[in-house]
Amino acid sequence: MKAIRGATTVAADTPEEIRGAVKELLEEIVKRNGLQEEDILCILFSNTSDIHSLYPAKAAREAGFTHAALYSSLEPEIDGALPLCLRALLFAECAKAEHVYLRGAANLRKDLKKFSVALDGPSGSGKSTVAKLLAASFHILYLDTGAMYRACALKAVKEKLTNITEEAVKPLMDGLDLKIEYRDGTQHTILDGEDVSEAIRRPEVSMAASNISALRCVREKMVEMQRQIAKEQSCVLDGRDIGTHVLPDAEFKFYVTATSAVRAKRRYDELKAKGYSVDLSELQKEIEERDRNDSTREFSPLRKAEDAVLVDTSEMTIEEVLAFIRKKIQEKV
């Protein structure tokens, strides 16, 4: 018999959230450990004291885990504990235990880190959509590194800095208050205590991000943060220099690209859907200028790592790209 550990988090203390999180956690434990219903003898749950709207054991019963003996308990309040967290300890007949930590709970078991995925490529290649779906499908962390450069650019815009040079930007970087937080698995970019996740997507921030990201003082600071986040858990990072510079030892590297016309059309559709009025040919020109900027800069330019797999998405759907990349990873893990 083996004891299998698992943990997950909920976005809020509601019965629906708890039901969803418990079901997802148990199904993942069953899948990863190849369990049959009769293999599971009992499941013990515990949860932090900010969760009380539904017993996890009841959620497990509702999810169809009726064969095993179930038990729930409350954890003592511990200062600094991961909030809204649910833990499971499952006793089962199996050869070896694979522990499962989902959503923000992966933070609790950094020793279980298995692999990093580097997804690089120009903007509009579809890499961030794929990266997000890929991370969700493996229940691992997604870090959008472009959001971090965008936040630096937003800071410069807010400070009305027009002179984007090392000298002018360095003091801004020294005093930068940037945090990446995850709420229910979704990345939030917090600048000076304010959630700027939406504001950094504004079109004028895109070009500013490309300019500011060329500076050494900006890159050094962001890369250090990225490595710190990636060190601790299995993750997917997307950007321009992940495979070449940030995580040169990443287990999986992909370079995702598409023609500039296709990329401009994708960005056009995306911005239009958000209510921005944009001109397609202007967008294509801007994308090509950003490509030039990003790939000709001195520090960590946009470039395919030698050991990265090239994925041209011009004629592929997101689902096809995702399936291709997932298959490559699953062949090895």
Least distance to ligand DC, CB of residue 282, Å: 16
Q: Which is nearer to ligand DC, 19 or 290 (CB)?
A: 290
Q: Which of 181, 107, 140, 141 is nearest to 28 (CA)?
A: 140
Cβ of residue 175: shortest distance to ligand DC, in angstroms?
A: 21
Restricted to residues 195-224, the positions that interact with ligand DC (CB under 6 A) are 206, 209-210, 213
Nearer to ligand DC, 17 or 241 (CB): 241
Cα–Cα distance, 110 to 140 (Å, whole number): 12
Give the whole-angstrom CA distance, residue 100 versus residue 86. Answer: 12
305 binds ligand DC (CB under 6 A): no
**Smaller CB separation from ligand DC, 106 or 118:** 118
Strand order across the 186-191 sheet: 178-183, 186-191, 194-195
Contacts of 161 (CB under 8 A, 6+ apart): 168, 169, 172
Taking CA atoms, 180 is separated from 29, 97, 145, 158, 185, in Å, by: 28, 32, 10, 19, 12
Residues 6+ apart with CB under 8 A from 76: 49
Which of the residues 127 through 146 are near ligand DC (CB under 6 A)?
A: 145-146
95-124 binders of ligand DC (CB under 6 A): 123
With respect to ligand DC, which residue has the nearer C-beta, 39 or 294? Answer: 294
Closer Cβ to ligand DC, 59 or 152, answer by number: 152
- Interactions with ligand DC, residue window 229-248 (CB under 6 A): 239-242
Length of the chain, in residues: 333
Euclidean distance between CA atoms 240 and 74, whole angstroms: 44
Q: Is 149 near ligand DC (CB under 6 A)?
A: yes
Site membership for ligand DC, residue 290 (CB under 6 A): yes
91 vs 149 by CB, closer to ligand DC: 149
CB of residue 130 to ligand DC, shortest distance in Å: 12
In 121-205 the beta strands, taken as DSSP E runs, fall at: 141-144, 178-183, 186-191, 194-195
Residue numbers at the binding site for ligand DC (CB under 6 A) = 123, 145-146, 149-150, 206, 209-210, 213, 239-242, 290, 294
